[in-house]
A and B are shown apart, each in its own frame.
Chain A
Amino acid sequence: MRFAPHTDEDVREMLAACGLGSVDDLFAHLPPGVVLGRDLDLPEGISEPELVRRMSALAARDRTADDLVCFAGGGAYDHYVPALVWALAGRSEFYTSYTPYQPELSQGVLQALFEYQSMICELTALEVSNASLYDGSTALVEAAHMATSATRRGRILVSEAVDERHRETLRTYGAGLGYAIELVPADGGVTPVPAVAEDVAAVVLQHPNAYGNLEPGIREAFAAARAGGARAIQVFDPLSLGLLAPPGELGADIAVAEGQGLGNHLNYGGPYLGVIAARMQDVRRMPGRIVGETVDVDGATGYVLTLQAREQHIRREKATSNICTNQTLMAVAAAIYLAWLGPDGLAELGRHARSKAAYAAERLAGVPGVRLAFPGATPFKEFALRTDRDPLDVQAALIAEGFLVGPALAAPGGPVLMVSTTERRTREEIDALADALGRAGGAGAAR
């Protein structure tokens, strides 16, 4: 396939206008020592029908969350994506545009981002958001960076019940950003109130946490963080906030989330959406694009990228972050999804997820050889099981039965198998999963 529209005649005319005789003349000044004297070792180009056949054949080798009943969680969830989300976010005036450097031609995406930022602030009870970050894990890195620059301290206390992928990512970037991470053990699947010394920059809790549990002591932990002069950072689930008190009310200074559930398909892990919100005290430490409302020369309301003096293209090495391209289209999709959901839909979705998790936890823990890892804790939309068999074997056996569960995680007290219930799962599916687990994971199953 070719997308360059040039005819041979065009090429000749254009070269002639440049005073050149051949295409090679355009490259004649390149040092011969670096020029590749052969074709790239790739196949020849193919037509669109051939391409579709190749791609479809690859896709057909995958099992999907349609042909397996998806009870998998661990940071990505099978929430329903309403048809209107990508019918609208998929309009090519949005998806084929660049970062809105010319605001007069970009009011559509700018206003959509302003509305996204507004809805994130409403959800979190915080004061400022941005035009998106890459994903939940890198959003936590940016929050930690904000905390270290605000406090000029270098220790970050992170609960063991924060998703291990987030913790790994935090550790990777810490090598450059120079902060040190210390783990707060979460025996029992919930986090105790940590001691916050004078050199602590931030206390990070996830609520609901990586084992699915609500954190009963989160207000106290955040109060301790703030009393110690540290920033309180919450990793939250946007879709929990119809039921659960928002981060701002729990005492969080900065809240970050994986926004995949806000209208994004599972996409094997990306593109997803990094959500961040903070208080105005940190607005000049926020990373990335922020959209602000203003007026034009005629006094009409309009939107622009604002506070750009924080950003890499102005501040260069002194910027708050290096982020440039972000996940804007996912933020537009999230704005559409949240408008679709509305406050009542958000609460109803939360009730479904919470109630189905409670029901599923009770049903599955009743299977011989299977028990709840943290029986005293309250799950929101996923929970941790301990199984007599290796969790990975149980997961594989359940796939053979048509169910996708997981991930298998290292956890206090030994490995666990995560099971998630979004609003899409039904009682019938949960009952069928319990039956399958009886065959696949129970005490009687072959080891």
Chain B
Amino acid sequence: MSGAPVRRGGPPLPSTLRELSRPGRRASGFATLDVPEAGVPGDLAREGRPGLPEVAERDIVRHFTRLSQMNYGVDTGFYPLGSCTMKYNPKVAEATAALPGFARLHPHQPEDTVQGALELLWTLERSLCEVTGMHRATLQPPAGAAGELTGLLIMRGYHTKNGNPRSKIVIPDSAHGTNPASVTMAGYVPVHAPSDARGLVDLGQLEKLLDEEVAGLMLTNPNTLGLFEEEIEGIAEAVHRVGGLLYFDGANLNAILGRVRPGDMGYDIVHMNVHKTFATPHGGGGPGAGPVAVVERLEPFLPAPVVAHDEATGRFRWDRDRPDAIGRVHGFHGNFGILVRAFAYVLAHGHDGLREVGERAVLNANYLATLVRDAYPLAFPGRPMHEFVSTARPLKAHGVRAMDVAKRMIDLGFHPSTVYFPLIVEEAMMVEPTETESKETLDAFAEALLRVAREAAQDPELLHDAPTTTPVRRLDEARAARDLRVRW
């Protein structure tokens, strides 16, 4: 056994900063105040001090270094979370985002002083439009879900302008949870389209759901099961026939880079998760960025401002005069520092590199699926694209569930796949290797998964007890919710 990649043992588990705190200890220091001291009115002044920790700089450095050692990242090892596209994050992208000419720009600087930043945003927007086959894009949305909501508000703006905002959005039953949540926040009611026996949208059933109250259909392609919606042209036609708009959830864009473009499939609105497809690091939960690209007739509704380029002078500026814009969806210009990293990624790869990214991502998923599908059958028979959904259902006979497989994989040295998603697959295991993993890694992961399947039959307790090699073992989530402790 190799043991968990984030291991038990070594220095003791860290206490909290509060427990490290000693009155009078301090890390920060400032210059001597060189102007007369000014106070604040007594009734607005703070009485007493906030309970921040009092610690030395070395305390902080050891504390957070130790915490980092208890955390698993792509730099630690293989991270095959399905639907998350946890590919390698290039170091050069980090280095370029830290250049003072990007990191030390104030968001209210006049346009003349940020021509480099505006050119970057403009060029990134043009590149993303080419990759998706769209006309224009907003870079404001700070994450994928924010992009979804932005796209839906663009739909609302468009339909309202045409006289009726409409009331319903159709989403497949396999959709990511952000889809229905965004639909509600956009003031629409979600209508669920069933998947057929192939795991694809059932076009016949879909057509029965479509009417003039449907504002649009949200559909990722490849879909959430990792399968390409082969009837996408018919789906697009059906949605457009009732005046609806087709929305591409870009979570799975990695699979089709350089080979198929949402615009060519008939989509009207596309959001991208740059922290998936364009390799910006996920930060343990963010920041991301969720640019939204649209076809020409939807351009007026994009959030304002957008970057404008005057070809005669070569100058870039913010175009704020957009009367039909849905408004602002972020306080400033979106997660600019993340967009810099995405731009570096696009530039580094070029058209040839991006196409290879998609090819290798699909190759890796198909290869890994081939290695494990006997023990963990594919949920649907079609050819996987960049990820595949297996089921741990055969192991249930031994009293073993997908979560047990996941926890045992941790003890064998791997971050497990996504489990229990999509919701429509029993004991789902959703595996997305990404293109940056080697054949050796995939072979080793497959070998471990197959070993766990054997162990499930021979020694299921081994799986129920796992993990045993991590800093903490299985945690009591029910207790966390019942006996709520969300602060010191």
Contacts and interface: CB of A to CB of B under 8 A. Distances in A.
Contacts of A99: 282, 284-285
Interface stretch (A135-143, A367-375, A434-442): A135-143
B328 A105 contact: no
B169 to A, nearest CB: 10
Contacts of B30: 345, 348-349, 352, 423
Interface centre among A54, A292, A396 (most CB of B within 10 A): A292
Interface residues of A, number: 212
Interface string A70-106: 1011111010001010011111111111111111111
B183 interface: yes
A300 B468 CA distance: 13
Interface string A276-290: 000000010000011
Contact of B410 (A61, A98, A105): A105
A4 B356 contact: yes
B330 A62 contact: no
A294 B482 CA distance: 10
B472 interface: yes
B371 A97 contact: no
B197 interface: no
Contact of B90 (A1, A104, A296, A309): A1
A132 interface: yes
A269 B332 contact: yes
B350 A43 contact: yes
Interface string B326-355: 111111111111101000101111111111
Nearest to B53: A339
A108 B69 contact: yes
Contacts of B46: 241-246, 249
Nearest to B477: A304
Contacts of B102: 59, 62, 267-268
Contacts of B484: 283, 292, 306-307
A92 B284 CA distance: 10
Given A102-B416, A352-B30, A70 B356 contact: no
Contacts of A175: 153, 156-157, 187, 326-327
Given A3-B87, A267-B337, A122 B51 contact: yes
B189 to A, nearest CB: 8
B52 A343 contact: yes
A115 B50 CA distance: 14
A397 to B, nearest CB: 11
B38 interface: yes
A35 to B, nearest CB: 6
Interface string A331-359: 01001101111111111110110111111
A355 B37 contact: yes
A57 B281 CA distance: 24
Interface string B83-119: 0101111101011100111111111111011111101
Contacts of B142: 134-135, 138, 270-271, 327
Nearest to B435: A4
Interface centre among A11, A89, A265, A317 (most CB of B within 10 A): A317
A321 B177 CA distance: 11
A39 B352 contact: yes
A4 B380 CA distance: 27
Given A102-B410, A296-B472, A326-B285, A52 B95 contact: yes
Contacts of A307: 481, 484
Nearest to A292: B480
A270 B332 contact: yes
B54 A5 contact: no
B184 A62 contact: no
Interface string A1-35: 11111100011011101111001001101110111
A340 B73 CA distance: 25
Contacts of A78: 106
Interface stretch (B14-22, B291-299, B392-400, B447-455): B14-22
B44 A245 contact: yes
A302 to B, nearest CB: 4
Given A64-B101, A317-B190, 20 more contacts: A6-B439, A31-B232, A34-B260, A45-B352, A88-B60, A94-B284, A97-B73, A109-B71, A121-B487, A121-B488, A242-B49, A272-B331, A294-B477, A294-B480, A324-B177, A325-B275, A326-B285, A328-B285, A346-B52, A358-B35
22 contacts: A1-B349, A14-B366, A39-B258, A42-B131, A48-B92, A59-B101, A62-B114, A64-B100, A93-B69, A93-B75, A268-B105, A269-B331, A270-B142, A271-B335, A297-B474, A306-B481, A317-B180, A324-B178, A358-B35, A358-B36, A358-B38, A428-B34
